[in-house]
Amino acid sequence: DGGITQSPKYLFRKEGQNVTLSCEQNLNHDAMYWYRQDPGQGLRLIYYSQIVNDFQKGDIAEGYSVSREKKESFPLTVTSAQKNPTAFYLCASSMRPRLAGVYNEQFFGPGTRLTVL
């Protein structure tokens, strides 16, 4: 079945450590996104990528990094520079926005819950 997988489901990190969250999709989508969700808040965009080897900062990119070497994969690294990384992280994918117009549904993965100890 087509979909988006994220791993791990739960992740614990010590302060000062970098961690990488995995996101893989087999929907043949060009665009991929990373969102952060805090309690009582909606989703906020961290990074997005419209095509392979290209990515752009979203609203809250500081302390995060990404890569897009393959169409199927868009890993997110939470660096030690991110001051408050404990949150729920959601990955999404969609058709490329330039081609799809405003009706461009984003499909989401199951999320990774990151806790800093």
Partner 1 sequence: AQKITQTQPGMFVQEKEAVTLDCTYDTSDQSYGLFWYKQPSSGEMIFLIYQGSYDEQNATEGRYSLNFQKARKSANLVISASQLGDSAMYFCAMREGWGGSNYKLTFGKGTLLTVNP
Instruction: Please report where in the chains the tokens 């199927």 appear, as a residue.
Output: 72
Based on the shown chain and the rule CB under 8 A, indicate whether residue 10 belongs to the binding site for partner 1.
Answer: no
Based on the shown chain and the rule CB under 8 A, indicate whether residue 21 belongs to the binding site for partner 1.
Answer: no
Based on the shown chain and the rule CB under 8 A, indicate whether residue 117 belongs to the binding site for partner 1.
Answer: no
Report whether 113 contacts 11 (CB < 8 A).
yes
Which long-range contacts does 55-59 make (Cβ < 8 Å, 24+ apart)? 58/33, 58/34
Based on the shown chain and the rule CB under 8 A, indicate whether residue 13 belongs to the binding site for partner 1.
Answer: no
Based on the shown chain and the rule CB under 8 A, indicate whether residue 52 belongs to the binding site for partner 1.
Answer: no
Report whether 45 contacts 60 (CB < 8 A).
yes
Based on the shown chain and the rule CB under 8 A, indicate whether residue 16 belongs to the binding site for partner 1.
Answer: no
Sign (positive or negative) of CA dihedral 9, 43, 76, 69: positive
Q: Which of 5, 69, 70, 98 binds partner 1 (CB under 8 A)?
A: 98
Based on the shown chain and the rule CB under 8 A, indicate whether residue 32 belongs to the binding site for partner 1.
Answer: no
Which positions touch partner 1 (CB under 8 A)?
31, 33, 40-45, 48, 50, 56, 58, 88, 90, 92, 97-98, 101-111, 113
